[in-house]
Amino acid sequence: MLVLRLKPVGKKKQISFRVTVGEKRSKLNGKVLEDLGFYNPHTDKFSLKTERVKYWLSNGAQTSDTVHNVLVNAGVIEGPKIKVKLRKSKKGAEAVAEVKSEAPVAPVASAESVVEKVSEESVAPVVEETPTA
């Protein structure tokens, strides 16, 4: 099955993508059949060969969710955008779990118990003795 998807290019913190057509089971940086344009998510700029995109879609190629949204923005295809879920990193999830296990949360006292404690303390005032030398 063919798929239109994004191939990452560029530096780590300045990544941009090439819109490519390739086999669905191949790697992202693997063999591609055709390059259809680019997409830069930092500036939201993109350029597509619309005729070739329509050709591949008419031949049964599927789109990834993000490419589908880019094509909707470009006006190549019509329809609603697809909500894209981002994966959470495993390191971040482990760090959150460690923080939760290290800092146990004290149970919240009810308002009535706080009022009772305050009223008991006000009944018996504490007198401090001054040291005499």
For residue 10, the domain's CATH number is: 3.30.1320.10
Q: What is the pLDDT of residues 64-73, one digit of tens each?
A: 999 999 999 8
Does the residue 121 lie in any domain? no
Does the residue 91 lie in any domain? no
pLDDT score, position 14: 92
**φ, ψ for residue 19 (rounded to 5)?**
-90, 120
**Alpha helices, H only, 5-127:** 50-58, 65-74, 90-102, 111-123
Does the residue 127 lie in any domain? no
Q: What is the pLDDT of residues 89-103, one digit of tens each?
A: 666 556 555 544 555
pLDDT score, position 86: 77
pLDDT score, position 42: 92
Q: What are the structure tokens assigned to 31, written together?
A: 């063999």
Give me the residues of the chain with pLDDT under 50, please. Answer: 99-100
Of 121, 21, 113, 8, residue with least CA distance to 61? 21
Does the residue 23 lie in any domain? yes
pLDDT score, position 133: 61
Q: What are the structure tokens assigned to 110, written together?
A: 């009810």
Does the residue 118 lie in any domain? no
Does the residue 63 lie in any domain? yes
Range of the domain at 40: 2-74
What's the total number of domains in the chain?
A: 1
